Structures are given as structure tokens and as C-alpha cells.
Homo-oligomer: A and B are copies of this chain.
Amino acid sequence: MNKAYQNIKVIGFDADDTLWVNETYFRNAELEFAKLLGGFETANKVDQELFKMEIKNLPLYGYGVKGFILSMVEMALELSNYTISNTTIEKILNIGKEMLNAPVVLLDGVVETLETLSKKYRLIVATKGDLLDQERKLEKSGLLDYFHHIEVLSDKKEENYSKLLKHLDINPAEFLMIGNSLKSDILPLININANAIHVPFHTTWAHEQVTEKETKDKAFKTVKNVREILNLLD
């Protein structure tokens, strides 16, 4: 085993785009939304304005599908100069409902990794987003039994992780986080002296992107497939 990991007691897994596909559903929703507003603006402009609206509303709505839909509705009103039709607004609401009802597609290697690690470590899910939505996805995923419990964090900054460790009654050195987002799953952990392994997903939301400078000299490993973690921990 890699020496750095010998004290690990609890492993936290990010959920969206680490255990299962998620960002792809948001991208598809944005494409659909841009089509609905095609009479008013180019898809590119709609995308840009929606992103701005999401970031503006993030402190109030937080992460997850419900806030995303509320931002789409607000954006449609503004972008159309308050001329958007009622049926289009209904279609926007339905995009949200479809997202909440979407099937859970597991990423390659997840099941065998959890199967092996759950025998030796306490595994938890540590995710952002709507609690109900994340619980529902975990249930649909069939992965429920591998995890001790699910932690939904309102944000994934250093203070949120410090609170989580206090709550788990463990030291930073005893915690390993695994996830696809450098900004949310990796850097805050390294900064509080916990452990993190990065498993990139092919698509990253603009809000989650970090510069090369931010990751420079940070002590974390990157693996191509979540399965490779077994080599590092065994």
C-alpha cells in the first residue's frame, strides 16, 4: 500500500460524475433550453446568460436540479423581455422533472471498486446537490449497501470538509476523498491535510474548473479509472 494511505479509516466518494453520469444530463438540459429560446437568441448566448444566472442565484438556491430550473425560468423571462409563452415555461419545468427522473448510469469500474474497498474501510457518499435527489439516485444505483451513509454538503469548501471530519470524529489523515472535481473533491482536502484521489470525468461544469496554478505542487494522485485506486490502497 502507498504509505500516505496507511491511516485511512473513512473514504468519501463524490457521487455525480464519480459514481454515475450527471453532467451529461445538465448539458442535454441546456441544449434543450437553448432550443426553446432559439427564437430570441443564439444557443451560445443562451448558454452564457444561463450560466451567469446560475452563478447569481447560487448563494440563494445552492446546487442541484431545483435551483437550476428556477434559474432557467427566471432567465427565460428576462431574455425574452417578458414575452415567453406559458407553454414554454411549462416545458422548462418538464426539463427539470425529466432530470429528476433520469436513470442512473454507473461509471465503469465503480461496482468492483466499492465491493473491494467496503470490506476494509467505512465508505460514505459526500456530495453537493438536493438531498432527496441524491438519495434517490443512490437508491436507484444499487450501491446503497456499500455505504455507511450519505453526506450532502451545501458546498465543498475547506470549512465544509472540516465540519464533516468533526462530525465523523476522525483526523484529516484518516480521511480519503475520491472525486472528479479538482475544485470540490481534491484541493480543499489537500489544504486541510486530508487525502484525495482525482478521477477525472470527460465533462466539467465551468464553475468547477480550476487553473493549473491552483493545482501546482499539491500532493494528490490522479487515476484514469476509479478501479486503479485499488492498486494504491491494497
Are A93 and B74 CB-contacts (below 8 A) given A87-B82, A100-B60? yes
Q: Nearest-CB distance from A83 to chain B (Å)? A: 7
Q: Interface majority SS on A: helix, strand, loop or mixed?
A: helix
Closest to A86 in B: B82
CB <8 Å contact, A84 and B82: no
CB <8 Å contact, B166 and A149: yes
Cα-based distance from A106 to B30 in the complex (angstroms): 41
CB <8 Å contact, B66 and A93: no
Whether a CB of chain B sits under 8 angstroms from the CB of A90 is: yes
CB <8 Å contact, B62 and A132: yes
CB <8 Å contact, B131 and A152: yes
Q: Within residues 75 to 114 of chain A, which ones have a CB less than 8 A from any CB in chain B?
A: 77, 80, 82-87, 89-90, 93, 96-97, 100-101
Complex contacts, A153 vs chain B, CB 8 Å: 131
Complex contacts, A167 vs chain B, CB 8 Å: 148-149
CB <8 Å contact, A67 and B66: yes
Q: Within residues 131 to 173 of chain A, which ones have a CB less than 8 A from any CB in chain B?
A: 131-133, 135, 148-149, 152-155, 163, 166-167
Chain A interfacial positions (CB closer than 8 Å to B): 60-63, 66-67, 69-70, 73-74, 77, 80, 82-87, 89-90, 93, 96-97, 100-101, 130-133, 135, 148-149, 152-155, 163, 166-167
